[in-house]
Structure 1
Amino acid sequence: MPPFRDDQLFIIAPGSETTLAQLGLPESFTPARYHVRSRMFPAENPGEFEPVKIRRKEKPAVNGAAGEEQPKPQEDGETEWEEDHISEEGAIWPIRNGQIVDWPCFYALMTHVFNTVNPPFHTPVLLISEPVWATKEHEKVTQFFFEKFKVPAFTMVDAAMAASYAYGVTTATIVDVGHTKADVTCVVESMLHDVGRGIAVPGCGGEALTERLWQVLKGRSGFSREMCEQLKKSNICEILPSDVEQPGDESAIADDANPAAAASTGEGQRKPSGAAGDLPKGPGEGTQAGEEKKLEDDEGVLDIASIVTGGNMGDYLAQKEREKQEKAATKQKKGSDAGQQANRPMKLPNNKRTRNTFVYEDFALHEAMKKAGMSDQKMADMQSAMDEGPNKRQKTPEPQGAPSEKPADGGVDGQQQEEPPSPAGPSPSGGFRREIEVGPERFQAATSAGGQPSILDRLADTIHRTVQSCPDINRRSDLWDSLIILGNGSHVRGFKEALLETLQKKFIISPSSATIFTSELPSNMSTPMATGANTPQPQYPGQHQQQQQHQGVNPMLLAATTAQHQHLQQQQPNQGSLPPQQQMQMQMQHHSLHSSHAQTPTSIKLAKIPDYFPEWKETGYDEATFLGAQVAAKVLFVVDAGASKAYMSRTDYNEQGPGGIHEVML
C-alpha cells in the first residue's frame, strides 16, 4: 500500500514572477490551480512581510473637485488604511534570474503559498528547483520545509528533469525561456548533464522581447513600457518566419481606418482645393471647425495628466459617448446596404495587416484616479465608457498587479468572494481597458538592434554549445532530434518556430553533402584524390583488392558503410601474420567504427508532447514543467509505494539532516 494518496500531494514551483501550486492530483492532470505573484510587501514590523500592499485610504473628492481643489487628509483622528491588490509599488521580489536573492522574503512567500492552499498535516511536498540553485540552497529549502511545516516527506525535482517527465522522453535538450533568462540542459537516458549546461543565460527571456518592443515604440507619444509588456502578451504580437515579409505602410487597406471618424469629419470626400467651403466640416485637423483639444490620440494613447488633474473627466466621457454613437450609426447604415455588405473585404490575418489593435488594461490611470480621490461612481463611469462591446468579450492578459490566488474552477477556498458589480457599471477593481493600435512594430520583438545579436541568435548559440558539451558523443544527434522549448517567455506566437528555423540555418548540414562521411573514414584510408579514388597504402595488402572490386563507388560512402557494418567488410588478413603495430591499429579501428556525425547535426526537430492531457492541450504547454512535476509526484509518492526512495521522510531528515536531499532529488 502506498504511503500517500493522490489527493495528499502538494506541488510548488517557485518562479521569478509567478509561483505555481496545487494540492492533490486529479484523474486527468490539469494546469496549476494556484498562480501566486512571487513578491511580498514590507510589513509594519521590520523583518516581516505581507502578501498585499497596505496603503492610506484616500478621501473621495467633493463635488467633482480635482487637482488643487482636492480636500487634504484630516490631521486629527485615526488614519484609515486599505488593501491594494493591484499596485506593486514597493514590492520585494525574492527570486531574480532564478536565484534566491532575499531569503527572509522567500520564506515569507513560501509561507504565504502554504497558507493560501492550506494543506492538511499529512501532506508530502514536491518542489521544483531552479537549475541555478547550488547545493547549499537545496539544503536551506529542505530545512525550512521540514522545520517550519513539519512535512512527512519532501523532495526536489530539477526543472529540466520535470520537463522530460512531461514529454515522456529520456533523452532531450530542454530550453526553458523564463522572464529575464533562459536555461538550456541536456538529459541523456534520464541523466542530467551539468557539464556545459546553460544556466541563467541573461538576455534570453521574455523581458528581452519587451525591451525590443520598447526600443521601437518608445518614440510614440504616451506609449509606456507597460503597454509593450501587454502588447507582447496579446495575440497580435507575432514573430514571422524569415520568408514572410512584414506588411508595410503602403499596403494599408481601407478597413483599417476608423469609419466613425470618417463619417463625422467627412474624410474620404475631400477635394483637392484650399477653399474653406471645400473642407470637411470637422472637428479635426484640416477641417472647417479646426482641430479640437484631444485627450486621446489616434492610436488610443491617453493623456492621463489632462484627465485626472486637469478636470477634463467630463470632456473625455462625452467624447467617448459621441464616438460610440457615431460608430453605432455607421454600423447601422452599413447593415442596411445589402450591396455594400456583399462587397465587404475579407478580414485579413494578423501578418497581412499593416495595423492592428489590442486591448490594453491601464492600471496607471486607475492608480492616478484613486490617488486623486475620485469617487467609485466616477471610476465606474470611466470604466464603462472605455469598455466597449467587443472589448467586454475579449480575453485580456492577466493583470500584472493583481495576484491570482484562486482555484481554476472558480472557487475561493477560504478567500473572500468578489462583490457583484454595482448597477451603475462594472466594478473599478482592475485597470481600465481600451484599444491601442500598433503598426508593423508588433512583428519586431525578436529582431536584432544596433549590431547586437537577437534573442534567437543568442539562444541558438547557447543550445549549440550545450549540446556539443555533452560527454556522450554518440547521443548528440538524439539531443538535436528531441528539442523541448517551454517557459512563459516563449509564449509569443511564432517564437518556437522561429528558434527552430534559426538553429537549422546556423548549424544543420545537408545529408547529401559528402562531408558527413569524412568522420566515418577508417584510419587505414588515405586522403581521396581529385579523381574520386584513393591511393592504396602498401601496409594494407587487402585494400587494393577492395578498390578493384568496388570500382565506380564513392570511396567515402563505401568506407563509411563498411566501417559501420562488419558483415560488409572484406576478409582481412590474419592478424597473426602482421606486425604488432599494424595489429594494434586494426584493433583501434574495430573499436572506433562510428562517430554518429557528432560535430554538426543533420536534423533538428522538436519533441512531440503527449496529447492525452486534454486540459493542458487547451491552455498550452508553456508551463509543462509543472505537468512533469505532477507525473513525478505520482510516480515517486504513489505508484512505486516509496520503493525508489526518491524522497526524504521525516525519519531520514532526523538522521541525515538537510544534506540528505542530495541523495534523493532528481
Structure 2
Amino acid sequence: MPPFRDEVVFVITTGSHTTRVQYGLAESLTPPQKTVATRVYKADNGDGKAPYSLEGPESAAIYPIVKGRIENMDALLYLIESLYRTTTNMSTDSPFAPILLTCNSEWQPSQIEEIITYLFRRVRVPAVTIIPESLAALYAYALQIACVVNIGEEKTEITPIVDFNIVESAQSVVEIGGKDINKALQSLLPTLQPYQIEELKRSPIYEVLSEESMSFFGELSAPATSSLEEEGIVDVAAIVANGNAREILAQREQKKSSKLVDLKNSEMPRNSFIDSKGQTVELGTERFQGTEDMIERLSHEIGNVIGKLDDIARRGDCWENIIIVGGPTVIKGFVDAVLLSLQEHFLITRGTTYSELPSGLNTPGYGTPPATPAVYGQTLGHGQVPTTIKLAKMADYFIGYKGHTWEDAPFLGSQIAAKQIFTPGIASIDGAYMSREDFAERGAREIWNLGLL
C-alpha cells in the first residue's frame, strides 16, 4: 500500500513553454498552485553558487525544453529542484515529498534516467515516478483507451493508448501548433504586435465558427425582419403626428442600442478587446480566421495515426474517444471544428449497410475518392473506417476545475495519477513508483519496470 499522505505529494509537469506545479492533493483537485515559464537565467555570480537563477534579464534566459526536446539538462534539473524546494519549503537535508513528473515522447531514455538519478542523489527525494503527459490526459478522462491529441506551441503529439499502454508504433509527433495560428493571424493583421496576436487568441472575441453560426457573413442568410422599424426605416410622419417626437426617437435609439448589446460575437461585423497595455483593438471578421489550415492538417494526422493500429476494433474505440488538450483548446469552437473536420474526412456517411458493401471495396480516407485506396493506414476493407467519431467526455466531478479550460487537462490527470500511485485508498496502484531503496538496489533503470513508460 502506498505510504504517503495526500498533503505531501509534489506534482510537476514541464512543457516547452510552461511548467505547472502542485504541492499537496486536495480531496477535490484544483488547478495548479503555480504556473511558471519553463525558463531559467544564467547567473554570473562567481561565488561558487548555482550557475542559474529563477530571475534575470531576457538576455540571460535559457529555455531547457525546445519543441518537447530537452536541450539543456542542467538548466532543467535546476528548475525542477528550485520549484520543488521553494514550493514545499524543504531543506536540502530532510525532503519528504515524493515527486510525480510528466514527460513526452521526445525525452530520451538516458535523459529520464539522468533526471531520476539527480532527484535521488542530489535532491534526496523519498520516491519518484515519471509518466507520459498523454497518459496523464487519459487519467483526467477516466478512460483506458483513447487517442490523445496534445497541441503545443510548436508541435503536436498524437498518441493512441490502449488499455493504459501507449501504442508507440502508431504515435506521431508533428510540427503543428499554436504558432501556426499566430502566423496566419499575423498575415491577416499585419499591424498588430506579436503580443497582441497572442492575446487575441485568448480573448472572448476570437473563435472558430461553424456554418450554422456565420449569420452576417457566411452562407446562411439572416432571418427576415418583421417591421420597417427593425429594418431601420423611420416613419417620420407618424412621429410628427404623435406630437412627442423627441421622446419617441430617444426610446427608439435605446431599443436599438439594447439589441446591439444582446448580439453574440458571431453576429457582430466588428468587435474589440483591450490588450495588456490598455489599448483597444477593434477587428472585423479576421477574428474568426487563422485556424483553417491547422485544423485540416491536424485532422489528417489524427486519421493517419489511428489508421496505424493493427486491431480494427481498437481503431473504432479510439475514434469514439478523441481527447484534445493544449493551448489552442481555449479558443471557442476550436475543438468542435477539429471534430467536424474528422467527421467530414473519415466518417462513413453512406446510407448503405456493411452487408451491402462488397468486402473488397476500398473505403475512402482523407480526401480520397471512393474508387481509390484509403490514404491513412494504406489498407483496404470497409471495416477499417469509423462509423462514429466522438470527443471523449471530460470527468466533471472536480469542483475546483469548474469553469476552468481543459487546456491543462494533463495536469489534472497527473494529480489523479499521483493520488493513486503515492497515497493509500481503494484505487491505489501498487508498485508504480521508485523508492530510495529501489534506486539504491537497482539504479535508475528500475523506472522501466514500473509499466508506466
Q: Under a length normalisation based on structure 1, what TM-score does the superposition of the two structures give?
A: 0.56
* 1:440-519 equivalence runs, <5 A: 440-447=285-292, 454-510=293-349, 512-514=351-353, 518=357
2:389 aligns with one of 604, 607, 620: 604
For structure 2, the residue ranges without an aligned partner over 5 or more in a row are 219-245, 362-379
Which deviations, in whole Å up to 9, do the C-alpha atoms of 1:123-142 show, x marking residues without a partner? 11000111221211211111
TM-superposed deviation, 1:37:
1.1
* 1:493-642 equivalence runs, <5 A: 493-510=332-349, 512-514=351-353, 518=357, 598-639=383-424
CA–CA separation in structure 2 for the residues paired with 1:633 and 1:100: 23
Counterpart amino acid of residue 661 in structure 1: I
TM-superposed deviation, 1:615:
1.5
2:216–2:267 Cα contact (<8 Å) kept? yes
The CA RMSD over aligned residues, in Å, is 2.6
TM-superposed deviation, 1:597:
5.1
Counterpart amino acid of residue 241 in structure 1: S
TM-superposed deviation, 1:89:
4.7
Residue aligned with 1:437, SS: strand
2:253 aligns with one of 340, 343, 346: 340
Distance verdict in 2 for CA 1:236–1:519, change over 3 Å: same
2:178–2:328 Cα contact (<8 Å) kept? yes
CA–CA separation in structure 2 for the residues paired with 1:90 and 1:246: 49
Counterpart amino acid of residue 190 in structure 1: F
CA–CA separation in structure 2 for the residues paired with 1:462 and 1:643: 34
Pairing 1:236–2:220 present: no
Counterpart amino acid of residue 227 in structure 1: Q
Distance verdict in 2 for CA 1:504–1:488, change over 3 Å: same
Distance verdict in 2 for CA 1:645–1:596, change over 3 Å: farther
Partner of residue 645, structure 1: 431
1:196 aligns with one of 160, 165, 170: 170
* 1:96-135 equivalence runs, <5 A: 96-120=66-90, 121-135=95-109
1:174–1:485 Cα contact (<8 Å) kept? yes
Counterpart amino acid of residue 617 in structure 1: K
Residue aligned with 1:187, SS: strand
Partner of residue 165, structure 1: 139
Partner of residue 225, structure 1: 194
TM-superposed deviation, 1:480:
0.3
CA–CA separation in structure 2 for the residues paired with 1:23 and 1:516: 56
TM-superposed deviation, 1:517:
5.1
1:246–1:440 Cα contact (<8 Å) kept? no
1:474–1:598 Cα contact (<8 Å) kept? no
Partner of residue 152, structure 1: 126
Counterpart amino acid of residue 146 in structure 1: F
Distance verdict in 2 for CA 1:511–1:170, change over 3 Å: farther
Which deviations, in whole Å up to 9, do the C-alpha atoms of 1:463-515 show, x marking residues without a partner? 11111111222211111011111112322111100000110111111252346
1:664 aligns with one of 443, 450, 453: 450
CA–CA separation in structure 1 for the residues paired with 2:359 and 2:392: 28
Counterpart amino acid of residue 636 in structure 1: I
Percent sequence identity over aligned pairs: 33
Partner of residue 5, structure 1: 5
1:477–1:596 Cα contact (<8 Å) kept? no
Larger deviation: 637-646 or 492-501? 637-646
2:203–2:273 Cα contact (<8 Å) kept? yes
CA–CA separation in structure 1 for the residues paired with 2:164 and 2:286: 42
2:329–2:406 Cα contact (<8 Å) kept? no
Partner of residue 282, structure 2: 437
1:511–1:602 Cα contact (<8 Å) kept? no
1:126–1:154 Cα contact (<8 Å) kept? yes
TM-superposed deviation, 1:146:
1.1
2:114 aligns with one of 134, 140, 143: 140
Counterpart amino acid of residue 122 in structure 1: F
TM-superposed deviation, 1:173:
0.8
CA–CA separation in structure 2 for the residues paired with 1:517 and 1:632: 46
CA–CA separation in structure 2 for the residues paired with 1:89 and 1:228: 23
Partner of residue 297, structure 1: none
Q: Under a length normalisation based on structure 2, what TM-score does the superposition of the two structures give?
A: 0.82
2:328–2:334 Cα contact (<8 Å) kept? no
Partner of residue 31, structure 2: 31
* 1:72-471 equivalence runs, <5 A: 88-120=58-90, 121-199=95-173, 201-202=174-175, 204-218=176-190, 220=191, 223-245=192-214, 247=216, 337-346=250-259, 347=261, 348-361=263-276, 432-447=277-292, 454-471=293-310
> Which one has a bigger Cα radius of gyration?
1
1:500–1:604 Cα contact (<8 Å) kept? yes
Residue aligned with 1:655, SS: helix
Pairing 1:48–2:17 present: no
Larger deviation: 501-510 or 613-622? 613-622
TM-superposed deviation, 1:621:
1.8
Distance verdict in 2 for CA 1:512–1:17, change over 3 Å: same
TM-superposed deviation, 1:338:
4.6
CA–CA separation in structure 2 for the residues paired with 1:614 and 1:44: 45
CA–CA separation in structure 2 for the residues paired with 1:645 and 1:52: 38
